[in-house]
Chains A and B, each alone.
Chain A
Amino acid sequence: MKKAFPYTIFPLGDSALVLEFGDEIDLELNQHIQHIFKKIKQANLNYVTDAVPAYATLAVFYNLLEVPYDREKSSFETVAEKLRVIVENSRSVDIAKEKKIIEIPVCYSLKFGIDLTELAQKNKMDIAELITIHFSTVYYVFMIGFLPGFAYMGEVDASIATPRRSTPRQEVAAGSVGIAGKQTGIYPFSSPGGWNIIGRTPIQLFKKNAEPPMLLQQGDKIKFFSITEDEYKNYKGRHI
């Protein structure tokens, strides 16, 4: 028996809606959402312009001018009904093929890991221990959002999970690896940000002319490995 995932549908403005399957970080739930995301893509509905899977939700954007007109109901209802059919027919989740683990080098030096000291203190351990815990886990990419190619990965071991900084930084350098709650992530671009920064990867995560333009996709498994500052310099400009 497959687990049933109850959901609700509500509008996200007048040209999008959200299928909400829950409000927690859960691997099985997230894989179910990915499965539905693929089914919606495959259905190739001419009025669907974008579909955005997240942790526990899937947003679908549509072009109101293309939605089949029905005087009895709103376009939202028309789209919601169509999507309900797709979800109902997507019960059997094909067991995701064992994905290859993508390995990502990280230089966990104090120069790059600007919050290492604070994080180690907060979590009452030494820095080396914190780093080891971070790179010993295989992480799963739950969603992409915030910035182009920014992967929300989890879950971070409870012993090093740390809330976002109360005041976000004006600028976090591209390649920075951070922790926010039970999530870990890498900034593909320099950006303002509130995650606790523990290191930096020399890997370019987003290449605008590549297809797809980004290294990490929802559903990927990734593992970090530690490199020295010298190794970091030699990696510079190289891709996986």
Chain B
Amino acid sequence: MSIKIIKAGIFDSVQDNGRLGYQHLGINPGGVIDSFSAQLANAILGKEFTGPLLELHFPASKIRFTNSNIICISAADFSPYIDGVPVELNHPLMVKSNSVLEFKKRVSGTWCYIAFLKTLVVNKWLGSYSTHTKVVAGGKEGRILETGDVIETTSEINTSQHFNWKTPPLDFSSKEIEFITGSEWNYLSDESKYNFEHCFFCITSSSDRMGYRLSGVTLDAIQKQELLSSAVSMGTVQLLPNGQLIVLMADHQTTGGYPKVAHVVSSSLSLLAQKSMQDIIDFKLISLQEAEEKFIKRQRYLQHIQEECKARMKALGIE
């Protein structure tokens, strides 16, 4: 029972929600770069949020299903086709044995997820299936997917049942990225603070799973002192010595020494992750309490979808 990568994409990997509890050893959590969308893909299949899935970038892998399975494709729209027929996102899909999934063109978003009802059998390292390319551990042999890779699945499933549910497509068009201030916000001059909030910033081509580098108006720090290294987080916005910004993403280092001027809030990380080169973003300040509430609300929504879909799968006799 397996799937086969018949043509590898450029940066596709096995991920899950990340490797928690090891940052004091310098081991970053990693995991999916768009946690909300990845959890949604699992939720639509009524599965736990913690299972391994594939994270795809465009151009994405072409995949043969050696055995039948039920999958859900979520997040970025790369025009998925199964055996030449276009298929929907955010909807359970019955995939017959020997069928081929391919992605024809990027319509929206940057990262796409595939969740599998019959789970991928991949390497777990320190409690997580996430691919850690530096340590070469987790996922598929600790590396990005290559042509010819075969990934086992736990079993196969075949059904003629119709899945009469889907969630609305995710909209990644908004420019608005919400943030709260960071511990070195006051390092910025008043003019730079104003510019941070009121100017557009552009995602540059040197952005990857480690961080999204922005270009825009040069910001100046009134305090130039070097900082002692301390912990950073996904979403931390650092001011680089050249006055430009970087937002740390899933594969960020555990610690850093650049001023932390802001933090993108958790509920905006999905939207930011799905931005691509040359996309424009507009930072909007919110309060910490609002940030907490928005995140909790989104997670409750996911839990609701998961419970509902689990019940529906069960009603169809699928588990």
Q: Which residue of A lies closest to B295 (CB)?
A: A64
Determine if A57 and B23 form an interchain contact, defined as CB atoms under 8 angstroms apart.
Answer: no
Contacts of B107 in A (CB 8 A): none
Contacts of A49 in B (CB 8 A): 20-21
- A113 on the interface (CB 8 Å rule)? no
Determine if A146 and B253 form an interchain contact, defined as CB atoms under 8 angstroms apart.
Answer: yes
Contacts of A139 in B (CB 8 A): none
Binding-face segment, B8-16, B90-98, B198-206, B229-237: B229-237
Contacts of A201 in B (CB 8 A): none
8 A Cβ contacts from A100-152 to B: 143-150, 152
Determine if B295 and A50 form an interchain contact, defined as CB atoms under 8 angstroms apart.
Answer: no
Please measure, in the bound complex, the distance between the C-alpha atom of A53 and the C-alpha atom of B23, giving whole angstroms: 9
CB distance from A208 to the nearest CB of B (A): 5
- B85 on the interface (CB 8 Å rule)? no
Contacts of B135 in A (CB 8 A): 148, 189, 206, 208
CB distance from B263 to the nearest CB of A (A): 4
Please measure, in the bound complex, the distance between the C-alpha atom of A146 and the C-alpha atom of B248, giving whole angstroms: 13
Contacts of A11 in B (CB 8 A): 180, 263, 288
Question: Given A10-B183, A14-B288, A52-B255, is A213 in contact with B231 using a C-beta cutoff of 8 Å?
Answer: no
Partner of A13, one of B126, B266, B289: B266
CB distance from B288 to the nearest CB of A (A): 6
- A160 on the interface (CB 8 Å rule)? no
- A27 on the interface (CB 8 Å rule)? no
CB distance from B66 to the nearest CB of A (A): 29
Partner of B20, one of A50, A53, A65: A50
Interface residues of A (CB under 8 A from B): 10-16, 18, 20, 23-25, 37, 49-57, 59, 61, 64-65, 74-76, 143-150, 152, 189, 191, 206, 208, 212-214, 218
- B259 on the interface (CB 8 Å rule)? no
Please measure, in the bound complex, the distance between the C-alpha atom of A25 and the C-alpha atom of B137, giving whole angstroms: 33
Question: Given A50-B23, A51-B24, is A59 in contact with B231 using a C-beta cutoff of 8 Å?
Answer: yes
Contacts of B253 in A (CB 8 A): 145-147
Determine if B230 and A61 form an interchain contact, defined as CB atoms under 8 angstroms apart.
Answer: no
Contacts of B233 in A (CB 8 A): 12-13, 15-16, 59, 61
Determine if B25 and A214 form an interchain contact, defined as CB atoms under 8 angstroms apart.
Answer: yes
Determine if A37 and B24 form an interchain contact, defined as CB atoms under 8 angstroms apart.
Answer: yes
Question: Given A11-B288, A13-B265, A64-B296, is A149 in contact with B25 using a C-beta cutoff of 8 Å?
Answer: yes
Contacts of A16 in B (CB 8 A): 231, 233
Q: Which residue of B lies closest to A211 (CB)?
A: B126
Partner of A74, one of B29, B137, B232, B288: B288
Please measure, in the bound complex, the distance between the C-alpha atom of A49 and the C-alpha atom of B22, giving whole angstroms: 9
Q: Could you write out 10 A-B pairs with CB less than 8 Å apart?
A: A11-B263, A12-B232, A14-B263, A16-B231, A52-B254, A61-B233, A64-B295, A76-B288, A76-B292, A213-B25
CB distance from B293 to the nearest CB of A (A): 9
Q: Which residue of B lies closest to A22 (CB)?
A: B228
Q: Which residue of A lies closest to B268 (CB)?
A: A14
Please measure, in the bound complex, the distance between the C-alpha atom of A126 and the C-alpha atom of B6, giving whole angstroms: 58
Determine if B228 and A54 form an interchain contact, defined as CB atoms under 8 angstroms apart.
Answer: yes
11 more A-B residue pairs beyond the given contacts A16-B233, A64-B266, with a C-beta to C-beta distance below 8 A: A10-B183, A18-B231, A52-B24, A54-B230, A56-B228, A64-B295, A144-B24, A144-B254, A148-B27, A148-B132, A213-B126
Q: Which residue of A lies closest to B286 (CB)?
A: A14
Determine if A218 and B24 form an interchain contact, defined as CB atoms under 8 angstroms apart.
Answer: yes
Interface 1/0 per residue, B230-267 and A, CB below 8 Å? 11111110000000000000000111100010011110
Determine if B229 and A15 form an interchain contact, defined as CB atoms under 8 angstroms apart.
Answer: no
- B136 on the interface (CB 8 Å rule)? yes
Question: Given A18-B230, A145-B26, is A54 in contact with B255 using a C-beta cutoff of 8 Å?
Answer: yes
Please measure, in the bound complex, the distance between the C-alpha atom of A152 and the C-alpha atom of B295, giving whole angstroms: 34
- B215 on the interface (CB 8 Å rule)? no
Please measure, in the bound complex, the distance between the C-alpha atom of A144 and the C-alpha atom of B295, giving whole angstroms: 30
CB distance from A195 to the nearest CB of B (A): 12
Question: Given A13-B266, A145-B255, A208-B125, is A57 in contact with B25 using a C-beta cutoff of 8 Å?
Answer: no
Please measure, in the bound complex, the distance between the C-alpha atom of A75 and the C-alpha atom of B24, giving whole angstroms: 23
Question: Given A148-B26, A208-B136, is A15 in contact with B295 using a C-beta cutoff of 8 Å?
Answer: yes
8 A Cβ contacts from B163-189 to A: 180, 182-183
Partner of B229, one of A20, A152, A212, A218: A152
CB distance from A129 to the nearest CB of B (A): 27
Please measure, in the bound complex, the distance between the C-alpha atom of A185 and the C-alpha atom of B28, giving whole angstroms: 19
- B144 on the interface (CB 8 Å rule)? no
Question: Given A13-B266, A51-B24, A64-B296, is A145 in contact with B229 using a C-beta cutoff of 8 Å?
Answer: yes
